[in-house]
Structure formats: C-alpha cells, structure tokens
Amino acid sequence: MCSLWVKNSKVENAGAKRKMLLGILADLQDQRAKLKFEFDEGVTSIKNLTASPVKYDASGVTVEVSALKTVSERWVGTSVSCYFRIRPRENDGYAQFLTFSSPIRSVQQQPNGMVWFVLALPEGVKSAQQRRCVRVAVDRNRVPVASFWGQMPAGARVEARPPLLHFEADANPGFRLGNISTHGLQLLVDNALLREAMPRPSRGDYFSIYFEAIAEPGAEPESFYASMILRNTFSDPQTGVTSLGFEFTDEGELDERGRIEWKPLKSGEVSNLGVYVFKWNLLDFHREKRIV
C-alpha cells in the first residue's frame, strides 16, 4: 500500500511539472518572446543567436533562428540552451527570467530560407539567475558609482570609513568594474593604484563594495551593498592592469543611523541584481551583430 502511494505521488508530481512546463511554453508562444539561443561549448563557433517560438506540443518545441542561412546535420543530437523572459498571466506586471536546455532533434531549412530547430521537450525550466556563468560587461552608464573597502564589519558606520577605491560620474580614478553577475564581479585596477590602495591582495581576503546600477538610460539607479571574497587575481604587465575576481558572500543595507547590516545571500545571489544582469545581457545581445 505504501509503495503504491509513493508511486502515485511521483506520477502526480511528474504530471504537475509537465503541466507547468506546457503552461510556460504556451506563454512563450503567445507573447512571442525572443529567446537567446546558445549551442553547447565546442559545437560551433556561431554565437549571439536569437530564436522565435514557432510551435510546441507534448513531444517538443520548434523555434526559428532567422540569422542562420545554412545548417549542419552535425548539430543534431547536441544540446542548446535558451534564455527568455515572459510575463505570467496572473501578474503581467512581473517578469520571469527563465532558461531551459534541450537536445536538437532535427534542423529544417524552410522554403523561404528560414531555419527551424526542432528541440526535444525540455525536462524542466529554471530561473535564468541560477546560472553562475551569466556575466555581463558594465561601464559607467550601467554602474555610475562604486566604492570599495576592506572587510567592513556589521555595525560599522559607512560614512566614517574612507573607501580604498571610489569613482563616480566621469572621474577616471584608475579602476573600474569589468563585468558582473548575480554571484560576483570583476574589478580592473591600474597596477600603480593597486600597490598604493591595497598592496598584496590575496585569495580568500574579504572586501565590501557599494555600487549603483542603472538598467537602461534614463532609469533611476538602485543601490547595492555587498560583502565579497577574493577568488582570483591576474596582473597583465603589458596593459599595467590587474584583474580581481570576487564572489559575493553577503548583502547589506544601512540602518537608520547609517550603519551597515549584513545578511546571508539567498541562493548565493544578491537580491534584485539578477534583473539588471539579465536586462544588460539582453541589451548587449540585441546590439551585437548576428553571425551568419
């Protein structure tokens, strides 16, 4: 009796999961959402592809990739990852950023020259922010203000602690953010400034950062405080710049007295930062030339 109940529960869970998946695919097609379409590493050098949903059923998903003019049978059997944004029917003021991976069942060139990919039905869909590899380049238009300290203890008054590094507006202080994800960031610092501000940084050292993020031109900035651990360093003698790679460990906010309060990350991510990363990623993708 117990084993029968367990079996029935698994069947019900699988049915519910499949129903949710088909509902997401229905929203994807109804909203004509664009997908960022990526081959697995090593399959092809073609990158920066956009796909449009064509149709779906219980056996698979068909998408159209308009930038391609030729196809290769070698792609059949390999996997692709698709990233997209939809608005749930019950709350169209909220956007979900999702991704799925699926093997390619066939590649079809249509009479009008368009290329269709027939993908197996994905096993599931997950939040796009769960991928640690999604990093985007940032500049002063996206992150106009940043301050960088050594490890700042909880309860410290931020205004009373001069930062090791700081930039805002159009100042050129000799350091900048190279890229960022929901899990960490890259800091690029002139070697001369690094020797002066933070000599001999070592992997495992902790630091704190404040920065402001702007989703797109004209939008209001949002402020972020984060504690982070130094994971890697690389000094390029030709450019005279050192790259510092950090992983976020905590996120913070100021209390009414201007003192920092830290709290652990949820799922290893800084809250709300994923919205900016995904938005910037899409903007970059749509600006880049499609490779044929």
Q: Which domains does the chain have, with CATH numbers?
A: 2-131 (2.30.110.10), 136-283 (2.40.10.220)
d(CA 278, CA 181): 9
Residue 147, number of CB atoms within 10 A of its CB: 19
Using a 10 angstrom Cβ sphere, with 0-12 exposed, 13-18 middle and 19 or more buried, the burial of residue 223 is exposed
pLDDT of residue 122: 92
d(CA 241, CA 171): 18
Amino acid at 23: G
Question: Counting runs of H as helices and runs of E as strands, what totals does the chain give?
Answer: 3, 16
- Tokens 């931020």, located at residue: 158
- Angle, vertex CA 246, rays to CA 188 and CA 264, nearest 5: 145
- Tokens 């196809």, located at residue: 71
pTM of the full structure: 0.55
d(CA 157, CA 87): 40
pLDDT of residue 250: 94
Nearest to 21 by CA among 50, 49, 51, 59: 59
Mean pLDDT by groups of 10 residues along the chain of 292 residues = 44 71 88 86 81 91 89 91 77 67 93 93 74 74 93 93 85 83 90 86 90 90 94 81 90 94 85 88 66 32
CA distances to 22, 73, 179, 245 from 59, rounded to whole Å, are: 11, 21, 39, 42
pLDDT of residue 6: 38
pLDDT of residue 291: 34
